[in-house]
Structure 1
Amino acid sequence: MEIFNDLLKFSVVDIIDVFLVALLLYYIYKLVKGTVAINIFIGIIIIYLVWKLTEFLNMELLTGIFGGFMKVGIIALIVVFQPEIRKFLLMVGSTNFNRRRKFLSQLSFLKTENSDETDVAAIISAANKMSASRTGALMVFERNNNLDFLCASGDAMNITVSQPIIESIFFKNSPLHDGAIIINNNIVKATRVILPVNNETTIPKRFGLRHRAAIGVTEKTDALALVVSEETGNISYFKDGEFIMFDDTQELAMIIKEDLS
């Protein structure tokens, strides 16, 4: 009966509270999904639930142990989740709300297709041609995090994405071919952009500055990156600081479209 009475007291504020918590958990999951941190995140949830269960059952010794772990462990969690926390704060602080009519349209399950959808097919076709000619390229796709702070390091542009445009930018004799380009809503926002470079020694030595820059920008933001190697012609796709080399570019096109949606 007490539970039933509590349900009757459930107010609009409680509904908003539950919704906001669910939204926060969704964004946290989105940040750690596909990384090693997801296992740590699940482990923390399990420990928290066990702590609350022991507290409910009045198991004082276990409650004290788990309670102490949760209080002291917060410092360790800040260290462990430093990249994810940085990315989350960047997402909250630099999301470009002005480019969306409504705040709720940021939620992926409420988004609809529109005319601004990036022409992934044209980008992949350009990447294939540059791969065949061993032309190096680095393309960054902006998502929720606003990358204007990176665009400022290059040349501002406002060019609609097309295969000839991409190829001409990265043509070896072009004055724009150095650095990265940033693409958002089918528009090349900037060229010759300088990206943060990852200097981890665990990265294979065969990777050059383009690959390290792609790892760096996808670690620090939620952006995606596509790299064409000048040495081998290999096409690599970067997300959350991790990369995959693709031979089947049709599969790659499908993955990029899904990630951008």
Structure 2
Amino acid sequence: MFTDLKYGIDVFRTITPNDILDIVIVAFLIYQCIKLVRETRAAQLVKGILALLLVNIFATELELKTLGFLMENILQIGLFALVVVFQPELRRALEQVGRTRITDLNVFSSGLSEQQTRDRWMHTINAIVDGCSSLSRQKIGALIVVEQKTKLGDIIKTGTIIDSDASAELIGNIFFPNSPLHDGAMIIRDGRLYAAGCFLPLSDNSQISRELGTRHRAALGMSELSDAVVIVVSEETGTITLCRNGKLDRGFTAESLTKVLIGALIPDSTDPSEKKSERKVRRKGKKKA
């Protein structure tokens, strides 16, 4: 017992700062991989791979030669199979890595000052919320994509450029039944209503409820392939849904939608004057409603 304890202490003493850094990095990478596959179809495939590994260990320990031979060959070609099976998830992971920045102090891409940009976004958020609330009451379908860091030029090319200040009235007119652009998605870029009638990629997630239609599947697909915030108004129920990072949340009210959009699109600020301006724009938007 004391020999084992002494051996353990000796091993602990040999650990260097580089070893600790190595362990931390590996743990972080494993954690990120778990986050990537969690709550996706990849999670089920990971469970299957773990089951194969357990079978391989079982066969090795009991010296089951035939089973061991099969497992070794399956695992050898497994790497190539993973590339095929996990192709959508791998693509999504690489896209996330590509748009991740160590330091991203410049949140807004327009040439406006920070205060002007905040005011523009508050105006746009109020327009989106008022427009969606009106469409929800009338049970008119809508699909609005708010572009963030991931640029959506390829999506915009499928629609019509508008590049106008956002307003609830304009949003209502675009999505009014039988209007030329009502079937596609609206794109918000830099706080402006930039394009409409755009086509979005559909999600291939088999877990989507069957009661949700093409708009919701398109919204989820867009949120899976970019960091965009996507708002959907159901034409059957009038329910307002928000999709972000491949997740779908339903049942938003005007108040809760405003809160989520402000948190997603406007960075925190400690400047009291900016907070005061924000509240002023919010009150103005509520009076219009």
Asked if Structure 1 and Structure 2 have the same fold, meaning a TM-score greater than 0.5 normalized by the shorter chain, the answer is yes
Question: Alpha-carbon deviation of 1:123?
Answer: 0.8
Structure 1 partner of 2:232: 227
Question: Alpha-carbon deviation of 1:184?
Answer: 1.8
SS at match of 1:257: helix
Q: Using the alignment, how far apart are the partners of 2:250 and 2:200 within structure 1?
A: 21
SS at match of 1:138: strand
Question: Retained in 2: the 8 A contact 1:91–1:145?
Answer: no
Identity value in percent: 36
Alignment gaps of 5+ in structure 1: 1-6, 11-20, 42-67, 96-102
Q: Using the alignment, how far apart are the partners of 1:157 and 1:105 within structure 2?
A: 32
Query: 2:130 aligned with 1:129, yes or no?
Result: no
Query: 2:258 aligned with 1:259, yes or no?
Result: no
Structure 2 partner of 1:169: 174
Question: Alpha-carbon deviation of 1:27?
Answer: 9.1
Deviation by residue 1:42-86 (Cα, 9 ceiling, x = unmatched): xxxxxxxxxxxxxxxxxxxxxxxxxx9x99876576467543431
Structure 2 partner of 1:158: 163
User: How many aligned positions are there?
Assistant: 239
Query: In terms of mean alpha carbon deviation, does 167-176 or 220-229 score higher?
Result: 167-176
Question: Alpha-carbon deviation of 1:112?
Answer: 5.8
* Paired amino acid for 1:174: S
SS at match of 1:122: helix
In structure 2, do the counterparts of structure 1 residues 33 and 121 end up closer, same or farther at CA, with 3 Å as the change threshold?
A: farther
* Paired amino acid for 1:143: Q
In structure 2, do the counterparts of structure 1 residues 236 and 25 end up closer, same or farther at CA, with 3 Å as the change threshold?
A: same
Structure 2 partner of 1:238: 243
Question: Retained in 1: the 8 A contact 2:41–2:205?
Answer: no
Report the TM-score when normalising by structure 1: 0.64
Deviation by residue 1:180-225 (Cα, 9 ceiling, x = unmatched): 0111221122110011123544322221111111111112222221
Structure with higher Rg: it is: 2
Q: Using the alignment, how far apart are the partners of 1:210 and 1:85 within structure 2?
A: 25
Q: Using the alignment, how far apart are the partners of 1:259 and 1:80 within structure 2?
A: 32
Alignment gaps of 5+ in structure 2: 1-15, 19-25, 47-71, 109-113, 268-289
* Paired amino acid for 1:146: K
**Which residue of 209, 213, 218 maps to 1:213?**
218
* Paired amino acid for 1:208: G
* Paired amino acid for 2:236: E
Structure 2 partner of 1:148: 153
Question: Alpha-carbon deviation of 1:230?
Answer: 0.7
Q: Using the alignment, how far apart are the partners of 1:167 and 1:33 within structure 2?
A: 38
Q: Using the alignment, how far apart are the partners of 2:147 and 2:32 within structure 1?
A: 17
